[in-house]
Structure 1
């Protein structure tokens, strides 16, 4: 009890030292923003209100204001709370300000994302006046106490945080700022890890990665964790050889799975780097490396991008794409194209793969490679995924009864607890025969099937949806493991197909797979068949199914209805 009293006294003393608290309320609903601001002003707070994205952008650009606490309401149409928190945490002035989020009772996922982004307090609605004001005040006071101890350190890893980076910049003489390079490493799949295995496992993975980064940290360098999923190395020197050396080391330690005792976790990193130039070089290099990491594709696991002016333009486009997603314009504009899958011997169409296409009036054509990494990190991925299934269910009515439609499903979608139930519900609404809708997952996604994702897939298979493995041969799984999954079909990646005419080993691999899949009663489909020579080679090897430009390009539904 004495320790608790002492702690409360410290909090009261901290509050007394800061009688006027400067607060910013971010809420695009005028009525609720008016109520919150009135409640806080009544208690003596100096309050600023932000109701639009334009106002937020303008506010962040004015970095001279000293703000104690940000209050963010999650019940907004145009402002995503986790994204706002991330922007604040990455801001050079507001990184150490207190962040409080107001959530509805049914918004647990938003609360989790907000905590991951760096929120220190979640207040659940409905609440009374005393609850709102007292919890904001106590949270701010505790934050001040923590700041007085060491606000420059990340609590989880002990590494310097963004405030620690700023302190480091101040200590480096201006004339030496041009003698560094910065590498930013973004833990791309931490949200999926948290959803699949839980927050404790996610924290364990971050700590394990921190220790690995420490083991390769160059002499004289500075290592920090400056947001919930981003690390950076600030290293002396500007030679490309030194940059490539640290990138190789980062990739090497990150490629090893993290073993928790129960789970084996695969780490995905997006890497960006930039060289320091001029007296403000360090600060600019850190921002530019962060920008490059945001653009790095995680499709290859550990892709690294160097900052260029073109990269900045690409980031601006990426933000425009994200805005289209958040405002739900994407859902109104996307359509599905269908590429035929044929019996190689008879050229008979046996099914179609559904492929996502989006032509935006403001952005033009947006490729899947450009869209999906952004979509996967948005809160709309589940909703849009269900919209894809709905379009495919409707399209199925127009195809002959003997044909099927394959729908691609990502690991992020499978990590959504209600995914299988929602898909089954839609199928029942549309009277769909589940045996005609194939669930297509990638090889890497199959290997990481645990917890929620595994349960979702099992539920879909139990209901009658066939399971297809896509891109076989480009991942890291062994075939024995994959054969334990109840597969209907295995899709052989084009990397094998294009070597059939010139590489005998490719032919031997395909021949062996034909025999093995036949024994296991699994259909084998060759992807990316583009030439008559490839078609003939597959016929000779007794591969039964094919897909590619040689048989037909992806086309909208009306094309196939008129064919």
Structure 2
């Protein structure tokens, strides 16, 4: 009987330790998955910001105010204390201690390819760092989150466990492992002895000596930027607490043993049947649970063993429930409940494998909302989140034969396996039609749209990455073609994307090496019959490709944000050169809408004028109607500020937009530039002549000047004179001239640096007007 009591005590202690070990292993696995989910969530949040066009432009132009504002908003939304931007030069933008900033600045360069998070030490603190690249489309920097692994983080982890364990972060100080967070006091060298010389206790629970006594512990190394971890997560549970629930049982066994000494022969079989077998069953179940299997024991009776079995079954069910919940979070989007990118890739890979075996086709549709940023800015992020949920429901309702997933931000994707006929086209059209009507979200009627790119396997790719990339290229083409449409992938899109990336790389090098120059096209005053100014035109002399057409490189510069730096250089250079001309010669500079909306544009103009010494009244800024597309309020304020300095404002390409008349009423422009599409047919087309006449009369009513662009023959000149146009420019009188050509022209015509100049007739400027170039060359030169 005494032996049975001893065996019972040993079994109970083993079972208690086994249960705690199982819970520690489960808690460690849960913590690992939560860390992974948290890192993935932070990476997705950083990726949303990194994909934002305005943010990429701010990083490309070094606009720290915009970057810091975006980081502050992101920190508040995501709930992290530190967020940074690390540039390609290693500069760190974001508020934190200098020690942490130095640590963060090196992490993107230390991480291995494919990794986006790590746990590092900075001083005496330990941080989890998540890195997301900023692509435009090449890598121009990184968004970096730094989350301190402090007492608050550890307490949050402790609450997730079914037992009151203690979570402690350990850091290596060069001589051994020491606690980085409080809550657990360890004797010197205790962790090193626990780990052993070969680190054998890293992956399984074992006993460790603490200041409060023995405890069962599990060490989880936290991946750093190198092969050797800089920190570990140590989970401990005091052995005394593990045995506390069994004290009553142990006492009962002892008492039973004493009583059983009298009835040993009669009670031995009964005791073995009522205690030993249930404990063995509990032990087996605990071992199975420790190995990750679902374990449950049969409850017999209502004694301590029975209550222990009930508690064990409840604990096992809780572990399974938590694992199922974690698994769902790992493969589904928390906002919409749709599959996330990980599950989408798995489903796409499975569909492609089945298609190869059965000779079927698989279509991938990439869907992106049009104007989603405006919805967020106008109605707030809660309304934007609600809109994403509604979009998920709408798309899922129409793609019942496919798999709908939310990849990131406002980007969704659909896999269509085993489709028949023209199903991808029909599905894309039905989704686009569904968004033509306003959507009610949180009490707001929101009119949004979507663009869709489609790639079909095996013709457009036979692996998930290639197929998804090609669908994304088709989506990019749909965005370029006016949004609210769908496009199928074409092989030329991939080549065009590569060509665009190469142009962007060459543009960055051109900015660094000074490969740009300005040419100047004269503007002639028809009333005074003289040159009244010049328009600055940017030219790119590529070292191997020669002169690159602005039609080819200006759109790439605008999309990548490089137009801001290029435009700033052009403005400074034009003002500097114009200062050398006679004082009645004006200089006109085209300004991109992206450059104009830059928060520092007014300061750039003031700097260009002050450094060059140019009179502001001699500078003319040319803008197009596109500067008003994102709201006219701030735009009009900036225009009035520039006008107050004495700078002239011209509306370029008039009549080619949508709301020109409303802009004329909102702001008194100094000049309207008549687009060449109206000038070219003016001599032989009565309707074109009527349009030009109407523009001239409209400008006169608003006391504005007019300049006709693209004048190339005498008949056009005569027609424009008769219509009352103020000034003209075009190949009839002069091609764009180099700096030396302008100086020679002014010198030949006797235009000296005097405030008052006699008019110089056009006939005297050019005795023989140059012959017009062929149409393609004219378009490229302009």
TM-score bracket, normalised by the shorter chain, equals 0.5 to 0.7
Match of 1:489 in 2: 671
Match of 1:123 in 2: none
**Distance change in 2, residues 1:12/1:282 (3 Å):** closer
Work out whether 1:69 is the aligned partner of 2:123.
no
Contact 1:352–1:405, Cα closer than 8 Å, also in 2: yes
After TM superposition, give the deviation of residue 435 of structure 1 in Å: 1.6
SS of alignment partner, residue 172 of structure 1: helix
Unmatched segments (≥5 aa) in structure 1: 1-9, 41-47, 61-66, 73-78, 89-97, 104-128, 139-143
After TM superposition, give the deviation of residue 491 of structure 1 in Å: 1.4
Match of 2:457 in 1: 276
SS of alignment partner, residue 666 of structure 2: coil
SS of alignment partner, residue 372 of structure 1: helix
The aligned runs of 1:102-121 (5 Å cut-off) are none
Match of 2:329 in 1: 150
After TM superposition, give the deviation of residue 388 of structure 1 in Å: 1.3
Work out whether 1:83 is the aligned partner of 2:265.
no
Partner deviation per Cα, 1:135-175 (whole Å, 9 max, x = no partner): 9999xxxxx99974434555666665533531441453634
SS of alignment partner, residue 742 of structure 2: helix
Match of 1:172 in 2: 351
Work out whether 1:505 is the aligned partner of 2:505.
no
Work out whether 1:371 is the aligned partner of 2:553.
yes
Match of 2:710 in 1: 528
After TM superposition, give the deviation of residue 241 of structure 1 in Å: 9.8
Unmatched segments (≥5 aa) in structure 2: 1-25, 44-84, 93-98, 121-130, 148-178, 182-221, 226-230, 233-322, 746-782
Work out whether 1:352 is the aligned partner of 2:537.
no
Contact 1:26–1:71, Cα closer than 8 Å, also in 2: no
After TM superposition, give the deviation of residue 393 of structure 1 in Å: 0.8
Match of 2:762 in 1: none
For the residues of structure 1 that align with 2:654 and 2:29, how far apart are their CA atoms? Answer: 63
SS of alignment partner, residue 555 of structure 1: coil
Match of 1:339 in 2: 521
Partner deviation per Cα, 1:260-288 (whole Å, 9 max, x = no partner): 99999998x88654333268266533211
**Distance change in 2, residues 1:508/1:536 (3 Å):** same
After TM superposition, give the deviation of residue 414 of structure 1 in Å: 2.5
Say what the alpha-carbon RMSD is for the aligned residues: 5.4
For the residues of structure 1 that align with 2:630 and 2:101, how far apart are their CA atoms? Answer: 46
Match of 2:144 in 1: 100
**Distance change in 2, residues 1:499/1:428 (3 Å):** same
Partner deviation per Cα, 1:112-143 (whole Å, 9 max, x = no partner): xxxxxxxxxxxxxxxxx979x999999xxxxx
Work out whether 1:390 is the aligned partner of 2:390.
no
SS of alignment partner, residue 539 of structure 2: strand
The aligned runs of 1:425-504 (5 Å cut-off) are 425-450=607-632, 452-504=634-686
**Distance change in 2, residues 1:173/1:246 (3 Å):** closer
Mean alpha-carbon deviation: is it higher for 205-214 or for 354-363? 205-214
Match of 2:587 in 1: 405
Partner deviation per Cα, 1:50-75 (whole Å, 9 max, x = no partner): 649xx98xx46xxxxxx461699xxx
After TM superposition, give the deviation of residue 546 of structure 1 in Å: 1.9
**Distance change in 2, residues 1:260/1:438 (3 Å):** farther
After TM superposition, give the deviation of residue 487 of structure 1 in Å: 0.6
**Distance change in 2, residues 1:26/1:445 (3 Å):** closer
Match of 1:515 in 2: 697
SS of alignment partner, residue 659 of structure 2: coil
After TM superposition, give the deviation of residue 424 of structure 1 in Å: 0.9
Match of 1:549 in 2: 731
SS of alignment partner, residue 134 of structure 2: helix
**Distance change in 2, residues 1:204/1:534 (3 Å):** farther
**Distance change in 2, residues 1:329/1:156 (3 Å):** farther
**Distance change in 2, residues 1:173/1:406 (3 Å):** same
TM-score, with length taken from structure 2:
0.50
**Distance change in 2, residues 1:504/1:282 (3 Å):** farther
After TM superposition, give the deviation of residue 420 of structure 1 in Å: 0.7
For the residues of structure 2 that align with 1:550 and 1:476, how far apart are their CA atoms? Answer: 30
For the residues of structure 2 that align with 1:448 and 1:20, how far apart are their CA atoms? Answer: 38
Partner deviation per Cα, 1:528-547 (whole Å, 9 max, x = no partner): 23333332322232222222
Mean alpha-carbon deviation: is it higher for 523-532 or for 486-495? 523-532
**Distance change in 2, residues 1:344/1:362 (3 Å):** same
**Distance change in 2, residues 1:135/1:215 (3 Å):** same
**Distance change in 2, residues 1:31/1:551 (3 Å):** closer
For the residues of structure 2 that align with 1:454 and 1:246, how far apart are their CA atoms? Answer: 39
**Distance change in 2, residues 1:527/1:371 (3 Å):** same
Mean alpha-carbon deviation: is it higher for 275-284 or for 422-431? 275-284
Partner deviation per Cα, 1:459-479 (whole Å, 9 max, x = no partner): 222222111111122211141
For the residues of structure 2 that align with 1:420 and 1:361, how far apart are their CA atoms? Answer: 33
For the residues of structure 1 that align with 2:326 and 2:546, how far apart are their CA atoms? Answer: 47
For the residues of structure 1 that align with 2:703 and 2:479, how far apart are their CA atoms? Answer: 36
For the residues of structure 2 that align with 1:255 and 1:466, how far apart are their CA atoms? Answer: 42
Partner deviation per Cα, 1:436-487 (whole Å, 9 max, x = no partner): 1111111122343445544433322222211111112221114134321121
**Distance change in 2, residues 1:543/1:367 (3 Å):** same
After TM superposition, give the deviation of residue 334 of structure 1 in Å: 1.0
For the residues of structure 1 that align with 2:440 and 2:621, how far apart are their CA atoms? Answer: 28
Contact 1:186–1:230, Cα closer than 8 Å, also in 2: yes
Contact 2:668–2:702, Cα closer than 8 Å, also in 1: no
The aligned runs of 1:197-208 (5 Å cut-off) are 198=377
Contact 2:352–2:463, Cα closer than 8 Å, also in 1: no
Contact 1:71–1:100, Cα closer than 8 Å, also in 2: no
SS of alignment partner, residue 394 of structure 1: helix
After TM superposition, give the deviation of residue 558 of structure 1 in Å: 1.8
**Distance change in 2, residues 1:158/1:516 (3 Å):** farther
Contact 1:169–1:282, Cα closer than 8 Å, also in 2: yes
Structure of higher CA gyration radius = 2
Instruction: Pick from 342, 367, 387 the counterpart of residue 163 of structure 1.
Output: 342
Mean alpha-carbon deviation: is it higher for 540-549 or for 320-329? 320-329
For the residues of structure 1 that align with 2:388 and 2:33, how far apart are their CA atoms? Answer: 39
Contact 2:579–2:613, Cα closer than 8 Å, also in 1: no
